[in-house]
């Protein structure tokens, strides 16, 4: 199951980010011996991985994260119709330990809209703390931020970063049923960057 958002002209962007650009630098159709292109894209555009260095000084960059954080057993947990995910709701979800934990909310429908929606569902710091007691391999979410809009301290994200974990954001889970999967989202090993777009995929367990 392919779960990244498409990178195209309708891609929703976080406020302040610039849209990706593809430039054709050679085309067989125009007489060149080869077709070749180059891309310009922000590290935080579309479905991407936020490494700890994005939120804390001295945190791990993308290329420093162990490979176990990019693949392995996963659980998709749905929290429908919520304004925010609380610790009580996480506790009732009975999430198994040692998994990639992907949180499905009403945000997945927002990913199809070309404008950023500030009323997205978010994760409370207490819920993030409880999730971290499960020793997850990573945390995944279906919009750009785990924290509420206007929260410049990014408490949930910082908790995850201090635990040395990546956060996968903008995962398109709209048509994914809750349950157990295998998860793969491999980044390019680009040195020194705090985030990078990924191709995220789920395989039924």
Q: Can you say how many angstroms the Cα of residue 157 is from the centroid of all Cα atoms in its chain? A: 11
Contact 178/186 with Cβ under 8 angstroms?
no
157 among known catalytic residues: no
3-state secondary structure 147-188: CCCCCCCCHHHHHHHHCCCCEEECCCCCCCCCEEEEEEEECC
Q: What share of the chain is helix, strand, coil (3-state, %, to 5)?
A: 20, 25, 55
Q: Give me the count of residues in the chain.
A: 205
Contact 123, 152 (CB under 8 A): no
Give the list of residues 6+ apart from residue 165 with CB closer than 8 angstroms, or none.
Answer: 52, 69, 132, 136, 137, 138, 139
Element (H, E) at 126: helix 125-132
Q: Which of 54, 69, 100, 157 is catalytic?
A: 54
R_g over Cα of the chain: 17
Catalytic residues: 54
């Amino acid at each position: 199951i392919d779960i990244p958002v498409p990178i195209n002209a309708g891609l929703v962007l976080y406020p302040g980010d610039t849209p990706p650009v593809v430039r054709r630098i050679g085309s067989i159709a125009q007489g060149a011996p080869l077709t070749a292109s180059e891309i310009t894209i922000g590290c935080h555009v579309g479905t991407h991985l936020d490494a700890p260095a994005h939120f804390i000084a001295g945190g791990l960059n993308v290329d420093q994260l162990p490979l176990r954080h990019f693949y392995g057993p996963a659980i998709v947990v749905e929290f429908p119709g919520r304004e925010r995910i609380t610790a009580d709701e996480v506790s009732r979800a009975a999430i198994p330990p040692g998994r990639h934990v992907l949180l499905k909310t009403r945000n997945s429908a927002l990913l199809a809209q070309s404008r950023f929606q500030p009323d997205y569902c978010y994760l409370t710091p207490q819920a993030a703390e409880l999730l971290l007691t499960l020793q997850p391999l990573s945390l995944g979410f279906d919009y750009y931020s785990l924290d509420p809009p206007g929260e410049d301290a990014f408490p949930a994200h910082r908790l995850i970063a201090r635990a040395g974990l990546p956060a996968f954001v903008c995962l398109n889970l709209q048509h994914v049923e809750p349950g157990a999967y295998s998860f793969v989202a491999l980044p390019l090993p680009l040195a020194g960057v705090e985030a990078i777009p990924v191709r995220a995929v789920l395989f039924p367990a």
